[in-house]
Amino acid sequence: MSNANREAPPSAGRAGIKRELPEHFRDYRHVWVFIELERGEVHPVSFELLGEGRKLADKLGIQLAGIVLGPPGEATQHAIAEAFAYGADLVYLVEAPLLADYRNEPFTKAMTDLVNTHKPEILLLGATTLGRDLAGSVATTLLTGLTADCTELDVVDGSLAATRPTFGGSLLCTIYTLNYRPQMATVRPRVMAMPPRTDKPVGRVIRHKLSMTEEEIITKVLGFNLDRQSAKANLAYADIVVAGGLGLGSAENLQLVKNLARAIGAEYGCSRPLVQKGWMPADRQVGQTGKTIRPKLYIAAGISGAIQHRVGVEGADLIVAINTDPNAPIFDFAHLGIVTDAIRFLPALTEAFTRRLSPHSHDKLAS
């Protein structure tokens, strides 16, 4: 295997001693962000990562590159242009028809070949179904460190300091990959803020050939079923989110959350215990282990506010908490609180919003 020479010498196993970077990793430079292009669209997490990557690159005094893997055509060209618009200094491009649909084999091959040829210091990917599938394979092929679901990225003593929740979100830990390269990390959508977009001309694009043919790829794509619109909970990117927790007492009472959400044009969700009880599907779960959200307004009804929930909602501009327990941890990070029973309060709030927003919407609600 071509990776035999990548192995670092055995280390002492203590963080303090693992500081010396082996000679063959010293020319690894620049921050790379994987631009996730799937079915013609760039996942917005890629732009959020470019925002973070920019800060890391500036701190290290190195360049920020976008990595675009895609089929020839407009969508790939658009992805390249967007990478520059969100701050990339250059783009590495692998363009091949067999990259039209995501498959682990060709994407892992394309990414690892790029890394071995152009040697990045840091490689960031979105923690999406695609990004996590790819990141694990790439890190194992390269035999380097990968830190999943980071909530904060920084540079400390020239190394990537990747902070993530641990123990189910009860604590945070900071993880380093000291003597392997690249230092890899994934970040969930919406954890990092969206950087501003500025129209810029397309800069330097470095092309790389994919040394793989369709015949060499065992897995074939038979088809793709788009989610039905109704099932497409766009929770992560919603402007307003209403979520319910165990305080609602029963699965039936989740209707109160849905009613409020509908009245104010919000997405609805729930806390983790409700998914575990089977009251709501997993794609509606709000929190570190579900969807991280950054809405303008977040209303949490009957949610106590465990740390893993908090980590997933802290980016909201305004957090309103409704809970019967005045000592519930959610009041430690909410901006506005009401100590009352959500089951009684939600209908009143729905009605008050409806009244205030439009005198005519009563008819709509009844229909």
Name which position in 116, 158, 203, 365 contacts other proteins (CB under 8 A): 365
Q: How far is the CB of 337 from other proteins (least distance, A)?
A: 4
Name which position in 48, 52, 149, 267 contacts other proteins (CB under 8 A): 149
**Which of 61, 223 has the CB closer to other proteins?**
223
| Cα–Cα distance measured from residue 353 to residue 77, given in angstroms and rounded to the nearest whole number | 44
Q: How far is the CB of 60 from other proteins (least distance, A)?
A: 18
| Cα–Cα distance measured from residue 144 to residue 225, given in angstroms and rounded to the nearest whole number | 35
- Which parts of 237-296 interact with other proteins (CB under 8 A)? 239-240, 262-265, 273, 276, 281-282, 288-289, 296
Nearest to 248 by CA among 179, 299, 200: 299
- Pick the piece of the chain touching other proteins (CB under 8 A) from 68-76, 82-90, 198-206, 352-360: 352-360
Query: Is residue 213 close enough to count as binding other proteins by CB under 8 A?
Result: no
Verify cis geometry, omega within 30 degrees of 0, for the bond prior to 72.
no
**Which of 89, 154 has the CB closer to other proteins?**
154
| Cα–Cα distance measured from residue 311 to residue 168, given in angstroms and rounded to the nearest whole number | 11
Q: How far is the CB of 86 from other proteins (least distance, A)?
A: 19
Name which position in 32, 34, 43, 121 contacts other proteins (CB under 8 A): 43
**Which of 199, 218 has the CB closer to other proteins?**
218
Tokens of 65: 């590159």
Q: Residues 172, 164: contact at Cβ < 8 Å? A: yes
Q: How far is the CB of 66 from other proteins (least distance, A)?
A: 19
Query: Is residue 165 close enough to count as binding other proteins by CB under 8 A?
Result: yes
State the DSSP H helix or E strand holding residue 254, giving kind and residue range, or none if neither.
Answer: helix 254-263
**Which of 84, 107 has the CB closer to other proteins?**
107
Q: Residues 171, 165: contact at Cβ < 8 Å? A: yes
Alpha helices (H) in 27-73, listed in sequence order: 45-60
Query: Is residue 310 close enough to count as binding other proteins by CB under 8 A?
Result: yes
Phi, psi (degrees; rounded to nearest 5) at 267: -90, 150
Nearest to 90 by CA among 54, 48, 142: 54
| Cα–Cα distance measured from residue 354 to residue 364, given in angstroms and rounded to the nearest whole number | 10
Region for residue 73 given its phi and psi (left: phi exceeds 0; alpha: psi -120 to 50; beta: otherwise): left
Q: How far is the CB of 179 from other proteins (least distance, A)?
A: 8
| Cα–Cα distance measured from residue 188 to residue 167, given in angstroms and rounded to the nearest whole number | 17
- Which parts of 69-98 interact with other proteins (CB under 8 A)? none
| Cα–Cα distance measured from residue 30 to residue 92, given in angstroms and rounded to the nearest whole number | 12
Q: How far is the CB of 205 from other proteins (least distance, A)?
A: 25
**Which of 84, 292 has the CB closer to other proteins?**
292
Q: Show the site string, 113-142: x = touches other proteins by CB under 8 A, - = not.
A: ---------------xxx-xx-xxx-xxx-
Name which position in 227, 230, 366, 367 contacts other proteins (CB under 8 A): 227
| Cα–Cα distance measured from residue 301 to residue 304, given in angstroms and rounded to the nearest whole number | 9
Q: How far is the CB of 132 from other proteins (least distance, A)?
A: 5
- Which parts of 331-350 interact with other proteins (CB under 8 A)? 331-340, 344-345, 347-349
